[in-house]
Amino acid sequence: MQQKQTDLQQEPSGTEFASCPPQEILRRLRRAVPDCPLLSHPEELRPYACDGLTAFRVTPLAVAIPESVAQVQKILRVCHALRLPVIPRGAGTGLSGGALPRRDGLLLSMARFRKILALDPLNRTARVEPGVTTRAISQAAAPHGLFYAPDPSSEVACTIGGNIAENAGGLHCLKYGLTVHNVLSTKIVTSDGELLTLGAEALDSAGFDLLALFVGSEGLLGVAVEATVRLLPRPPSARLIVAAFASVDSAAAAVGRLIGRQFIPAGLEMMDNLAIRAAEKFVHAGYPVDAAALLLCECDGPAEEVDEEIALAEGLLRDAGAYFLRLSCSEEERLLLWKGRKSAFPAAGRMAPDYYCMDGTIPRRAMPEALRRIARLSEEFGLPVANVFHAGDGNLHPLILYDASRPEELTNAERLGARISELCVELGGVITGEHGVGVEKLDPMCIQFRAPELEQFHRIKAAFDPDGILNPGKAIPQLRRCAELGTMHVHGGRLPFPELERF
């Protein structure tokens, strides 16, 4: 993606940060953690200027790359004393700009925390450092017949620390849940350098469920320095059905029929025609390119169970109007059929110089309407949009194709994205299902929530981080921003969708 050369206005965090000359900040940090790499030359800082949301770039004041919990604590104590913003970063694969630096802040890279500390097959847990990749946990667990369930698309690169910050999902979270369902405990360093354990190695813990609050908090409440995750027995069998439909409506109706009947598929994905054609051209998975929509339904578990569920799903899909069905009969075939879906983004990306991946969730019943209206918006803005859904949980990922070298196109793509976010809320859904708010969705947050809820979020933030130094300006917009946006958005004296409750 072409970068939006931005001298991005720093989002006000509601806090005044003390001004201290950069040289003095670096001196204090070096004195506190002499063994910790501390980057401050512009050349060294450049690779950290953005995360997976590459349209936004900011060069940080400095980058610290600690390798021990004690170093993280010392760094935070210095930052706390100086009231210096700290932006934690895992692998930098996030798509909402959660790890976007600030010019006045320290970027805290957790990349050197790469150890799997313990693997306990009897208790079915892994204790890992936050920089361990999601995939690596499953690989380490494999010899014991176990795996770590959440499988975000970037699992080869993304890390468990980032997964916790974003409450990452994946292709199979319909059955196995999100990160919040699969983490038992995490050790965090707070804004003043204190080490706390949230959750327990048991199935619950005493007091408030701070672990659930922490997961998905986008680095605003603390820095995760260790996690204990739950491992599950690897299902011995998995089979996939690909079903093609002549209309989006019938595919969407089929999703409703599949779900809620005796079993939950391990994964249930939907692709629209543009995504199907792009994927097929790219990997030749054998998808019917004339289909208006494709459903991919996977069942996994003990072989007897899988065969029974697949037979049931096949019947339901046929009844729902599927005109083409293909069942995987071997592991090779299953992987090939998945490959089309998994490469849908890069494939669609080849159809245009740049693409912008959106994220939102809607009730399943609203899928046909959502797709119709996204198609209309696509026409209105003159930008093609390919749709890939986690259909089982109503999580849509419209992919906006554009060319950043053409004037106005990036801005147009962003405006189209904002309209899609508004559409999700209007249809009773939410502005982000798994990518997070970061900096990308701050404006849509003003549509999603009313002032009292936003105020409450800021109070929660303050309970953890009274000085507001941790990832300031991300995830929760300032009320002032929403008020200004509100005046921008008022049409004829009305807010957009006044009839809607802004939960």
Partner 1 sequence: MSPSESDLTKALVDEVRQAHDSGTRLHLIGADTKPFLGLSVEGRRLSLREHRGIVHYEPAELVLTARAGTPLSEIHHLLAAQGQWLPFEPPSFGSSATLGGTIACGLSGPARPFFGAARDFVLGVRLLDGRGRVLRFGGEMIKNVAGFDVARLVTGAQGTLGALLEISLKVSPKPSASETLTWEEGQKDAVRVLSELAVKPFSLSAACHDGERLFLRLSGTEAGVRAAAKRIGGDRLADPDAFWRSLRERTHPFFSMPGAIWRLSVPPATLPLAPGAGALLIDWGGAQRWWKGSAEPAVVWEWARSMGGHAALLDSGRCQMQPLDPALFALQKRLKAAFDPKGILNPGRLYDER
Touching partner 1, residues 353-412 (CB under 8 A): 361-365, 390, 393-395
Q: Which residues touch 437 (CB under 8 Å, ≥6 apart)?
A: 96, 98, 218, 431, 444, 445, 474, 475, 476
Q: What is the DSSP string of 229-277?
A: EE-EEPPSEEEEEEEEESSHHHHHHHHHHHTTBSB--SEEEEEEHHHHH
Q: Counting contacts by CB under 8 A, is residue 414 touching partner 1?
A: no
Q: What is the DSSP string of 404-472?
A: TTSTTHHHHHHHHHHHHHHHHHHTT-BS-SSS--TTTTHHHHHHHS-HHHHHHHHHHHHHH-TT--BST
With CA atoms as reference, report the closest residue to 144 among 168, 125, 116, 166. 125
The two tokens of residue 343 are 């490469």
The residue among 51 and 280 lying less far from partner 1, judged by its C-beta, is 51
The residue among 74 and 461 lying less far from partner 1, judged by its C-beta, is 461
Contact 399, 384 (CB under 8 A): no
Residue of 180, 285, 358, 391 interacting with partner 1 (CB under 8 A): 180
Residue of 382, 403, 456, 483 interacting with partner 1 (CB under 8 A): 456
**Minimum separation from the CB atom of position 35 to partner 1 (A):** 26
**Minimum separation from the CB atom of position 183 to partner 1 (A):** 12
Containing 138, the helix (H) or strand (E) segment is helix 134-141
Residue of 27, 44, 500, 503 interacting with partner 1 (CB under 8 A): 503
Residues 145-174 that bind partner 1 (CB under 8 A): 145-146, 166-167, 169, 173-174
Q: Counting contacts by CB under 8 A, is residue 429 touching partner 1?
A: yes
Residue of 347, 410, 431, 469 interacting with partner 1 (CB under 8 A): 431
Instruction: Give the interface size with partner 1 as a residue count (CB under 8 A).
Output: 97
Sign of CA dihedral 145, 151, 153, 157: negative
Contact 167, 434 (CB under 8 A): yes
Q: Counting contacts by CB under 8 A, is residue 128 touching partner 1?
A: no
**Mask of contacts with partner 1, 45-84, x by CB under 8 A?**
----------------------------------------
Residue of 295, 464, 468, 470 interacting with partner 1 (CB under 8 A): 464
Report helix, strand and coil shares of the chain as percent, to nearest 5.
40, 20, 40
Contact 289, 280 (CB under 8 A): yes
Q: Counting contacts by CB under 8 A, is residue 186 touching partner 1?
A: no
**Minimum separation from the CB atom of position 341 to partner 1 (A):** 17
- Output DSSP code: residue 403: -
Q: Counting contacts by CB under 8 A, is residue 13 touching partner 1?
A: no
Pairing type for strands 106-109 and 116-120 reads unpaired
Residue of 459, 487, 492, 493 interacting with partner 1 (CB under 8 A): 459
Q: Counting contacts by CB under 8 A, is residue 445 touching partner 1?
A: yes
Residues 212-251 that bind partner 1 (CB under 8 A): 212-213, 215-217, 221, 233-236
Residues 273-312 that bind partner 1 (CB under 8 A): 301-302, 304-305, 307-309
**Minimum separation from the CB atom of position 463 to partner 1 (A):** 4
**Minimum separation from the CB atom of position 276 to partner 1 (A):** 23
Judged by CB under 8 A, the stretch of 129-137, 195-203, 284-292, 344-352 that binds partner 1 is: 195-203
**Minimum separation from the CB atom of position 120 to partner 1 (A):** 8
**Distance separating alpha carbons of residues 406 and 374, to the nearest angstrom:** 22
The residue among 45 and 160 lying less far from partner 1, judged by its C-beta, is 160
Residue of 104, 201, 333, 414 interacting with partner 1 (CB under 8 A): 201
Coil, strand or helix at 293: strand
Residue of 283, 296, 420, 437 interacting with partner 1 (CB under 8 A): 437
The residue among 280 and 309 lying less far from partner 1, judged by its C-beta, is 309
**Distance separating alpha carbons of residues 462 and 465, to the nearest angstrom:** 5
Q: What is the DSSP string of 326-391?
A: EE--SHHHHHHHHHHHHTHHHHHHTTSSEEEE--EE--GGGHHHHHHHHHHHHHHHT--EEEEEEG
The residue among 3 and 197 lying less far from partner 1, judged by its C-beta, is 197
Pairing type for strands 237-245 and 293-301 reads antiparallel
**Minimum separation from the CB atom of position 147 to partner 1 (A):** 11
With CA atoms as reference, report the closest residue to 274 among 374, 353, 369, 363. 374
The residue among 59 and 190 lying less far from partner 1, judged by its C-beta, is 190
Judged by CB under 8 A, the stretch of 43-51, 77-85, 104-112, 205-213 that binds partner 1 is: 205-213
The residue among 180 and 276 lying less far from partner 1, judged by its C-beta, is 180
The residue among 188 and 243 lying less far from partner 1, judged by its C-beta, is 188
**Distance separating alpha carbons of residues 75 and 73, to the nearest angstrom:** 5
Residue of 37, 121, 315, 496 interacting with partner 1 (CB under 8 A): 121
The residue among 60 and 161 lying less far from partner 1, judged by its C-beta, is 161
Judged by CB under 8 A, the stretch of 71-79, 81-89, 118-126, 341-349 that binds partner 1 is: 118-126
